[in-house]
Amino acid sequence: MQTVLVAGGAGYVGSHTCLALAEAGFRPVVFDDLSNGHREHVQWGPLEVGDIRDAARLDAVFAAHRPVAVLHFAARIEVGESVKNPGVFFDNNVGGTITLIEAARRAGVNALVFSSTCATFGDPVNLPMNETHPQAPLNPYGRSKLMVEQALADYDRYLGFRSAVMRYFNAAGADPEGRIGEWHEPETHAIPLAIQVALGQRSHFTIFGDDYDTRDGTAVRDYVHVLDLADAHVSALRRLLAGGSSESFNLGTGTGTTVRELVDGVGRAVGKPLAVQMAARRLGDAPVLVGDNAKARAELGWKPSRDLDAILSSAWRWHQAQAAVGR
């Protein structure tokens, strides 16, 4: 059984990827400072508590576990917060990643799967967005991820350090068996916010803008089940371990869901319509963000296997169970 280090493995996508790694025969060792992740979500291997900016701590963990590769999810992700405190994002997301890469290189590890984002692209120029789409981030969060992508390209070009950059759109859903799910504090993501309305924890769901040039006037986003994303990371890891070259992959469905369709879908999942309030568009929101997954299909053999109803029903079961235990 090969060991892999999963930085940020106590977080949402990271913990689901640990589940997928374990099912694929790997031993995931989670390295997480638990600032956004949750100890309860580390279920498929040991937890090493630490900060990716702490070189000495990383060296000790690499020496103790001797991983063959790194999967890197540890990052600050709140777009609004990145605008208020850009330095914090560059320090953690960029500086921390460089510290992690250097620790991996000192340990003789030459493969890293990086959790990136469609936020590196900015406003869409063409749709669906493929890997060659221009990258012009609209905020420090997206820029911090792009800076890491550029650094990884140089590490490959000059030092032979190989990586797989995984740009995903909207991670959604939960483990169907209810072991882990989407848990953010504070919550800012659309599906959990809609479910909170169904649970009586919020009075209504706010739709920002109904005058976009889309099929129902509301913005379109590309929702991918978190376990489908996890499967893509496992495939990318296997490709690197087999000697594959550094590549970037866009992970989307290629279609997209409007906000109204999303709210209606949550209503179907919970068995009742949701109270909705309309509001003006938010500054910086693109009308449509949809990813082209042709390259991931061709080179990773990957495509999303779970539809929107599967996403929403798994999310509803997870959040309903959490509410029952007072979480």
Give the catalytic positions in this structure.
Answer: 141
DSSP reduced 3-state for 247: strand
Q: Are 314 and 176 in contact (CB under 8 A)?
A: yes
- Pairing verdict, β 257-258 and 220-221: antiparallel
Instruction: Quote the CA–CA distance of 96 and 54 in Å, as a whole number.
Output: 8
Q: Are 249 and 300 in contact (CB under 8 A)?
A: yes
H/E run at residue 92 = none
Query: In 3D, which of 111, 85, 89 has the Cα closest to residue 100?
Result: 111
Q: Are 311 and 173 in contact (CB under 8 A)?
A: yes
H/E run at residue 235 = helix 226-241
Give residue 264's Cα distance to chain centre: 24
In one letter, which amino acid is 252?
A: G
Instruction: Quote the CA–CA distance of 176 and 310 in Å, as a whole number.
Output: 9
How wide is the angle at C-alpha 97 spanned by C-alphas 129 and 239, nearest 5°? 60
H/E run at residue 131 = none
132 burial (CB, 10 Å; 0-12 / 13-18 / 19+) is exposed
Strand partners, 207: 278
Residue matched to tokens 């509410």:
323
Query: In 3D, which of 143, 238, 226, 217 has the Cα closest to residue 182?
Result: 226
